[in-house]
């Protein structure tokens, strides 16, 4: 795994998690997935309450941090995954052939 792009961020997130005592044990995968939801909910709540876009953005960054922590716990190459999925999406048709968008 090259320490570039998302991997660089993932390495920093993992270092922070380790330094602050947050376990990356596979037994926590379910909890880590749930915590990703909580950050999206916090962003939703902030937006609903009319808080600034900066506050909403901070909650979305919290979400990214939790996703990167989980990808690290799963021993994944975040940059390679991002590239693969984006390349696949670029090849998909307009609105991915969905009827109502998304």
Smallest distance from Mg ion to CB 57, Å = 11
Q: CB nearer to Mg ion: give 39 or 79.
A: 39
Question: Which residues sit at the interface with Mg ion, rule CB under 5 A?
Answer: 39, 42, 59, 62
3-state secondary structure 4-34: CHHHHHHHHHHHHHHHCCCCCCHHHHHHHHH
Query: In this complex, which beta carbon is closest to Mg ion, that of residue 69 or of residue 79?
Result: 69
Give kind and range of the element (H or E) at residue 84: helix 78-90
Chain residue whose CB lies nearest Mg ion: 62
In this structure, what token pair is assigned to residue 32? 């880590």
Please report how close the Cβ of residue 31 comes to Mg ion at its closest, in angstroms.
15
Which tokens is 6 given? Answer: 């998302």
Least distance to Mg ion from the beta carbon of 95, Å? 31
């Amino acid at each position: 795994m090259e320490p570039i792009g998302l991997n660089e961020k993932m390495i920093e997130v993992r270092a922070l998690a380790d330094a602050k005592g947050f376990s990356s044990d596979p037994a926590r995968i379910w909890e880590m997935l749930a915590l990703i939801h909580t950050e999206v909910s916090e962003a939703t709540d902030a937006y609903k309450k009319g808080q600034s876009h900066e506050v909403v953005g901070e909650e979305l960054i919290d979400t990214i941090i939790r996703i990167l922590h989980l990808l690290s716990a799963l021993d994944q190459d975040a940059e390679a995954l991002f590239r693969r999925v984006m390349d696949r999406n670029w090849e998909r048709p307009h609105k991915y052939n969905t009827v109502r968008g998304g």
